[in-house]
Structure 1
């Protein structure tokens, strides 16, 4: 089917829509149920079009298609947040989120609405209701979440860009597992209007891409003063080059698996042989000192955002999500206040470190866990991963994962592991440029 709709950019979109719930989202005829022969996987996509929404006919992003995480408002479509009961009660949005509108204004088109882990409260990439998206970079491995759908769509070649969110690692983790480039932007730099929140103190908007050049195109447009109608850069000019000076957090490197640590140290050796980089080691403190209070604040905010809905819908959550919200429901105001006080000096410490150097480290402990792994093993991998990803979130800093390592996974086949660079607030555009230079220097 096809229909014509007006969109926020002032252009028209002719779309053919496949909606996996078989319901009417946009105004017009009901969406068709996707046939079994359709090349698009319902674990990846909720709604998909050809395109779903046409962007501006001219602009620097023309030719790019976008998979939008199912947390962002798109006029005429409902938000599902990874939960069918939430989707059933949702109503079509009246306006489009600024983060989506910026991409359309630049000429990108929306390929579709992609799955998210339930309420974005996970980094595994699974969903008890819709299934687990594939990981084409590591067959049999988890895709990583909570931006599992956009990441899989990009890795499969169904879209060039994934519009996603990162609270504790939800862009960086799937980027690492699937061999993608993923940017968590400076906290507060990209507006979150029209976004279903998880924890506003840490939620950020960012993008996934298969290559650094595409990510640079998106960042250049969406984070520039004259291109984005939504971004308000209060951090100063972000286009100045960052220093070619790196510090490796010793605690993060120690938290990586031995094989990942060895691969990362070889990358440092290649960097020293091919470029005059200044690399030093630094201590950032016990990683649990970041993770424990982070989880407290995150849980308190998640419960404030969704607790009432959760209580009104017993049994609507999958087991893992239900357990996280159960724990979150018991956090007291005093515990939250104590956690915030504990995080403040840690954030200041990292912000000070990035004034003169860029943090360089493995993104996650190792390759993606297997989809068939026991629940206890997945929980252990989640905790180990969050210990490495939460410091940047605590400090509100931009952080980029680039696919620069290959490490043997279960069965011996090599699988991607990301290398993460983190810089001072507001230097997002320059951080992408630095990461591309780093990839070229080490042959990534």
Structure 2
């Protein structure tokens, strides 16, 4: 056991958990006033459902010994985390429990990411059912494909993308972002458009919330990426620095596109550019050098800024641009490893096309990325449709007009009281105060 590695892994797990409340604020600020609580609860609800499933059988499905040709880990091997809480249970140079906790946070936020595509119109109970089914059928198997590596002594067999295809994904470009982005597209198609979209402008109700959420995501993402080194070492430092640089470049890329296209650089664009850069550098953060990271960020920021407009062209209502940011950003980062990858920063990397390595790795990256995209899209369409025709997935028209906060949670985020009838001392005494104001003062305003 290495206490330094253990401490870093536990801290990183806590940082990644913070990302889900950060995502809740990011999404919550972008919806209308009448939907903000529901948006927050969809992220927090994912924490509850996925957290329980992960401890019961999710970890075992993702990291248990393979039972299906690289497609699935043994669900019963670590059922209820059997044997993993013992002092001698290890994962590398850290306790097994630290790795279990770290990977749990990935599972939680992947499910939460999907919720942004179906804002303003979703039944909360149906969302929780979906979260459990999708995590079980889609995320846990895909995590096995990408993150479960064969043991060096041959005692454990892992997933096909990591070990047979050997596509590179350091921290989750495929398993998290492409996976969630494809699922978001599928659910947007299953639930259909919001009432009034796209004719009605549905502006973010709280841009400070959006920027706060982006800041929390960025902070937590250092644990997401650098923590994936699973050690306090130079690789973690490389991932940390590249995460910083790519995100900065992506924000500039997004704002540049906005300035050219719309004439203004917006707060929403800045926050969205931050997330686009974080998404794109996730798979590549420990496999590219500084110039590669900056290029990936700049390209992702510009392409994602353009991609969010695709929903108007093709007519799918992805409420908060999960497809444009996470699916497109994840594809950009995953594929560009095949161009910018370099063994000079990490022997476990490959030399991409721009570093004399040819196009072989680019092909492997494409196969891995589109395999996850296709599986997630089809599986989510099936899960979403089954929920739709059984318990119902979308609220009725009246509830959507009233607002899902009130109809789904019997609450509202903000209480707007009449000045004369409000609960404040000034509101209760408004008539008395007004009667004492001199007429001359009233006339003067």
Normalized against structure 2, the TM-score is what? Answer: 0.28
Normalized against structure 1, the TM-score is what? Answer: 0.28
More contact order relative to length (CA 8 Å, sep ≥ 6): 2
- Structure with more strand by fraction: 1
- Structure with more helix by fraction: 2
Greater gyration radius:
2
